[in-house]
Structure 1
Amino acid sequence: MENHYYVDSVKLSEAALKKKHELENDPSSRTDHMEYMAGMERIKSDIMEKVLAEMESYDYLQYTAKDVMAALSHNNCTVEDFKALLSPAAEPFLEKMAEKARLETQKHFGNTVYLFTPLYIANYCENYCVYCGFNCYNDIRRMKLNMEQIEHEMRVIADSGMEEILILTGESRIQSSVEYIGEACKLARKYFRMVGIEVYPLNTDEYRYLHECGVDYVTVFQETYNSDRYEQLHLLGHKRVFPYRFESQERALMAGMRGIACSALLGLSDFRKDALASALHVYYLQRKYPQAEISLSCPRLRPIINNEEIDPLDVHEKQLCQVLCAYRIFLPFCGITVSSRESESFRNGIVKIAATKVSAGVSTGIGDHESKYTGKDSDSAEGDEQFEINDSRSFDKMYSDMSSEGLQPVLNDYLYV
Structure 2
Amino acid sequence: MRHTDHMGFFPRQEQLESPLMQQVLGQVATTDFSVFTTRDVRAALAHRTRTPGDFAALLSPAAAPLLEDLALAAKRETRDHFGTSIQLFTPLYIANYCANLCTYCGFAADNRIHRMRLTPEGIDAELRAIAATGLEEILLLTGESPKFSDTAYIADAVRRAARHFRTVGLEIQPVNTEDYRTLHGAGADAVSVYQETYNPVAYDPLHPGGRKRSFPYRFQSQERALRGGMRSVGFGALLGLDDWHADALATGLHAALVQQAYPAAEISLSCPRLRPTVADASVNPRDVHEHQLFQILCAYRLFLPYASITVSTRERAIFRDNVIGVVATKVSAGVSTGVGDHAEGVDSGDAQFEIADGRSVAEVCDAVRARGLQPVMTDHVLV
Matched, 1:283 2:249: no
The one of 206, 209, 221 equivalent to 2:179 is 206
Letter in 2 for 1:90: A
Distance 2:301 2:345 in 1: 45
**SS of residue in 2 equivalent to 1:120:** strand
Matched residue, 2:270: 297
Distance 1:405 1:306 in 2: 37
The one of 371, 374, 393 equivalent to 2:359 is 393
Aligned pairs, how many? Answer: 383
Matched residue, 1:415: 381
Matched residue, 1:4: none
Distance 2:159 2:346 in 1: 24
Q: Structure 1, residues 293-324: CA drift from partner, whole Å, max 9, x if none?
A: 01111100000112122112410000000000
CA RMSD of aligned residues (A): 1.1
Q: Structure 1, residues 176-203: CA drift from partner, whole Å, max 9, x if none?
A: 1100000000000100000000000000
Letter in 1 for 2:157: A
Matched residue, 1:364: 337
Letter in 1 for 2:369: S
Q: Structure 1, residues 363-408: CA drift from partner, whole Å, max 9, x if none?
A: 00011112xxxxxxx4543100000000111011111110111000
Matched, 1:406 2:372: yes
The higher radius of gyration belongs to: 1
- Runs of 5+ consecutive residues of structure 1 not aligned to the other structure: 1-18, 20-28, 371-377
Matched residue, 1:111: 84
Distance 1:274 1:36 in 2: 22
The one of 227, 232, 246 equivalent to 1:273 is 246
Distance 1:322 1:124 in 2: 35
The one of 129, 134, 137 equivalent to 1:161 is 134
Matched, 1:253 2:226: yes
**SS of residue in 2 equivalent to 1:224:** coil
Aligned-residue offset at 1:35: 1.1
Aligned-residue offset at 1:349: 0.8
**SS of residue in 2 equivalent to 1:320:** helix
Matched residue, 1:147: 120
Distance 2:352 2:366 in 1: 27
Letter in 2 for 1:252: A
Q: Structure 1, residues 141-161: CA drift from partner, whole Å, max 9, x if none?
A: 001111110010000000111
CA contact 2:87–2:379 (8 Å) conserved in 1: no
**Residues 129-140 of structure 1: pairs in structure 2 closer than 5 A:** 129-140=102-113
Distance 2:305 2:347 in 1: 44
Distance 1:309 1:343 in 2: 17
Letter in 2 for 1:404: A
Matched residue, 1:61: 34
Distance 1:253 1:381 in 2: 35
Give me the identity figure in percent: 53
Matched, 1:216 2:212: no
- Runs of 5+ consecutive residues of structure 2 not aligned to the other structure: none
Distance 1:50 1:351 in 2: 32
Distance 1:104 1:261 in 2: 20
**Residues 172-211 of structure 1: pairs in structure 2 closer than 5 A:** 172-211=145-184
**SS of residue in 2 equivalent to 1:197:** strand
Letter in 2 for 1:134: F
Aligned-residue offset at 1:271: 0.4
Aligned-residue offset at 1:352: 2.3
Q: Structure 1, residues 12-69: CA drift from partner, whole Å, max 9, x if none?
A: xxxxxxx9xxxxxxxxx85211110100001110011100001111110111111111
Q: Structure 1, residues 51-92: CA drift from partner, whole Å, max 9, x if none?
A: 000111111011111111111111111111111110000001
Q: What TM-score does the superposition give when structure 1 sets the normalisation length?
A: 0.90
Matched residue, 1:170: 143
Q: Structure 1, residues 244-291: CA drift from partner, whole Å, max 9, x if none?
A: 000000000011110100110011000000000000001101111110
Distance 1:380 1:197 in 2: 22
